A and B are shown apart, each in its own frame.
Chain A
Amino acid sequence: MKTKLLSRVLGTAALSALVFAAPVLADEEAELVINGELEIVTKTAAPAHLSDSLDEILSGWRFRSDGTQAMQMDDFDNPGMLGAEVGLDQFETVMGSEGKACADCHNGPESLSTVRATYPKWNESAGEVRTIQMQINDCLTTQMGAEPEKYDSAAMLNFEAMLAVAARGTPINVAIDGPAQSTWEQGKEMYYTRFGQLELSCANCHEDNYGNMIRADHLSQGQINGFPTYRLKNTKLNGSHSRFKGCIRDTRAETFNAGSPEFVALELYVASRGNGLSVEGPSVRN
């Protein structure tokens, strides 16, 4: 492993010596290994439902600069891990009128290690597709008698980061058939619908042009396997719905709100495009 890392560094150094005026671009062949032991799948064959449009799927980690990539390779250097730690404290804190903490019902985050990879997921009794955050709020209000947390709030994202760490390395595997299918199709339609004055769909950038530059930004495939994501631009954990909102805003459209049914459907669809990539949250991106 050490040798591989070293050769990567040397390779990049040689390259930058040749084209020293070029911008610092990602090494798209790099492999992500966290803490020198946990191997993360950042490139794999596309799931069957994408066979017409993509051959392989790539985590956003591959599109980031060497420095940003390195921050995610060591938990000590990953500022998102601070959020996961706070999430664990919240998990053990008694909240609400029932006098219960999450930890009173759930036997540690390890018992929830399948959550991050399988949500958004159909909930039979509620008759809807639920994201992790909707499920957490359901627990907070009906089981614990506590106030719900705001969608994509810091407390929510800390919970999500903790669950992502518990599931880290397992392949994303959201169900798109059965009762979730109609929501998935709604999300798919959104993905290919052009929004805003710029008339851009998600696919225009993240399917047709990933790997290219859009002004100063290096376009990724828009995968959400790394969420919640610590972004260097705002130095905090970010949720996928907030990211969707930012993207749609950038097309100069009226956007949807975090937690809206539209974004729940889109999250299910975008998550399914990453079926096979590892859960890698909390990830570090620019």
Chain B
Amino acid sequence: MASGVKPRVKVPKSAAAGETITIKTLISHIMESGQRKDGDGNIIPRSIINRFTCDFNGQSVIDIKMEAAISTNPYFEFDALVPEAGEFKFTWYDDDGDIYEDAKAIAIA
């Protein structure tokens, strides 16, 4: 597992039914591209998060494929329509097979 990985998510606690909200996500990760060499000239192996998804009550909100050119600590901000109360589930997939998860509940105000 890559070290120092910590997901962070910002979702409003409540919204009106049918309202569009803004979600911000950030995960601390080195995102080593696999293009760089260390002091001895050896290639530093690639280690990135290659996919990020967000689901709301089992329904896909966003599904992102990431490539090696994305910089450290990938940050995504996107809008989502909230039809009902429920839970946003966030999943990050690491190259090494690790999966990092976070979830935030939202109520209808």
Tell whether A pairs with B: yes
- Interface residues, chain A, with chain B CB atoms under 8 Å away: 76-77, 79, 82, 85-86, 235
Nearest opposing residue in chain A for B71, CB measure: A235
Known contacts A76-B8, A76-B10; A235 and B24 CB within 8 A of each other: no
A82 with B24: CB separation less than 8 A? no
B20, chain A: closest CB distance, angstroms:
17
- Interface residues, chain B, with chain A CB atoms under 8 Å away: 4, 6, 8, 10, 24, 26, 28, 71-73
| Residues of chain A lying within 8 A (CB to CB) of residue B6 | 85
Partner of B72, one of A76, A85, A86, A235: A235
Task: Give the docked Cα–Cα distance between A86 and B71 (Å).
Answer: 19
Task: Give the docked Cα–Cα distance between A217 and B77 (Å).
Answer: 29
B10 with A82: CB separation less than 8 A? no
B8 with A79: CB separation less than 8 A? no
Task: Give the docked Cα–Cα distance between A121 and B28 (Å).
Answer: 35
A76 with B28: CB separation less than 8 A? no
Nearest opposing residue in chain A for B25, CB measure: A76
A38, chain B: closest CB distance, angstroms:
17
Task: Give the docked Cα–Cα distance between A235 and B24 (Å).
Answer: 20
Ranked nearest first, the 8 interchain pairs of A and B with the lowest CB-CB distance are A76-B10, A76-B24, A82-B28, A82-B73, A76-B26, A79-B73, A76-B8, A77-B24
| Residues of chain B lying within 8 A (CB to CB) of residue A76 | 8, 10, 24, 26
| Residues of chain A lying within 8 A (CB to CB) of residue B71 | 235
Task: Give the docked Cα–Cα distance between A86 and B73 (Å).
Answer: 14
A197, chain B: closest CB distance, angstroms:
35
| Residues of chain B lying within 8 A (CB to CB) of residue A235 | 71-72
